[in-house]
Amino acid sequence: MNAKMMDEIANAVLYEGYLLYPYRKSSIKNRQRWNFGVLYPRSYSEGQSGADAWSMQTECLVQGSSEATVHVRVRFLHLVEPTSGEAVEREFSLEAGDTRPFSFESIEGSLETEREWIADDLFKVRVRVYNTAALDGTTREEALTRSMVSTHTILSVENGAFVSLLEPPDHLRELASKCQNIGTWPVLVGEDGQRDAMLSSPIILYDYPKIAPESPGALFDGTEIDEILTLRIMTLTDQEKAEMCLSGDRAREILERTESMPAEQFMKLHGVFRSVS
């Protein structure tokens, strides 16, 4: 497994939509957070007539014998202060086949994993993540302090190989189509052709996603491309930039990186030709 490539993609998912242009609290569009993969407390979700999820499920196929070991990591952001945007990264892990509760301050959850044998050399992995945190309040802001934000699952296998759900081999196509993924979708990650790691993300990706080498760094906004955001940041007034700096360290880093970006780096954002095999 290419750990560096995995971390880059996983962190892009973790912080997708974390901050939105113009990165200022006074902006109307930023007064209510909008994130992918939010698991709210069960009591809040059910109280909202099921409109907000409190669980997610990943299913995928693994080719391997009984010696194959699957490691499962669940990662998410904990919004300590939703109004200020302050968040802490959280992570919990275990081996497939185990089930355990977990807790992080005001967040409580459960991670359930199963291995279902289909043949001597093939089994299905099922991962369910639940938010079981207690919640006295009823507002979305109160619920967010006990929610799991940008929740995603990283799976890695030893002595085995994952099966692509997007392009499975013909003899496994029907079995792959029966995998039930709820609120998330697993894809192969790493170097092309590697099958020892999967990222199950609330954002639909393709197998072997990569961060564009032209990207100078994270911009977090979930709906724009680097060039457009960079140009917009350059047009902010001094007062708006000062307010952007008060939005937190990540917003300040974006501004500092943008203002110090060399001209040749900016030109790379305009576009690039790549061959398609």
In a domain, 188, yes or no: yes
pLDDT confidence of residue 212: 65
Q: Give residue 170's pLDDT.
A: 96
DSSP H helical ranges for the chain: 3-14, 42-47, 140-144, 173-177, 226-234, 238-245, 249-259, 263-268
Number of independent structural domains in the chain:
1
Q: Over pLDDT 70: what percentage of the chain?
A: 79
Does any domain span residue 249? no
**46 compared with 182, residue with greater pLDDT:** 182
**Predicted local confidence at residue 109, as pLDDT:** 95
Banded model confidence at residue 50, pLDDT cuts 50, 70, 90: low
Q: What is the pLDDT of residue 124?
A: 97
Please determine, for residue 49, whether its predicted confidence score (pLDDT) is greater than 80.
Answer: no
State the pLDDT confidence band at 4, using cuts at 50, 70 and 90.
confident
Q: Where are the beta strands (DSSP E) in 41-121?
A: 55-81, 86-95, 99-104, 107-119
Q: SS3 for 153?
A: strand
For residues 202-217, average pLDDT: 77
pTM of the full structure: 0.80
* Per-residue pLDDT at 249: 80
**239 found inside a domain:** no
Residue 197 has pLDDT above 60, yes or no: yes
Using 50, 70 and 90 to split pLDDT, how confident is the model at 220? Answer: low
pLDDT score of 223 more than 60: no
Q: Is residue 10 part of a domain?
A: no
Residue 196: what pLDDT? 96
Written as six digits, the tokens of 255 are 């501004």
Q: Which residue has the higher pLDDT, 135 or 220?
A: 135
d(CA 117, CA 3): 28
Q: Whole-angstrom Cα distance, residue 277 to residue 274? A: 10
For residue 135, the model assigns a pLDDT of: 84
| pLDDT-above-90 percentage for the chain | 47
Average pLDDT score, the chain? 84
Sign of CA pseudo-dihedral 44, 146, 14, 20: positive
Band of the pLDDT at 251, cuts 50, 70, 90? confident
Range of the domain at 76: 32-201
Confidence of residue 102 (pLDDT cuts 50, 70, 90): very high
Is 57 a residue whose pLDDT tops 60? Answer: yes
Q: Is residue 266 part of a domain?
A: no
pLDDT surpasses 90 at 95: yes
Q: Which pLDDT belongs to residue 224?
A: 53
79 falls within a domain: yes
Query: Could you tell me if residue 120 is inside a domain?
Result: yes
Asked if residue 275 belongs to a domain, the reply is no
Q: What is the pLDDT of residues 165-189, one digit of tens each?
A: 999 999 999 999 999 999 999 999 9
> Is the pLDDT score of 161 beyond 60?
yes
Are 205 and 4 spatial neighbours (Cβ–Cβ below 8 Å)?
A: no
Q: Which residues are bridge partners to 57 per DSSP?
A: 128, 182
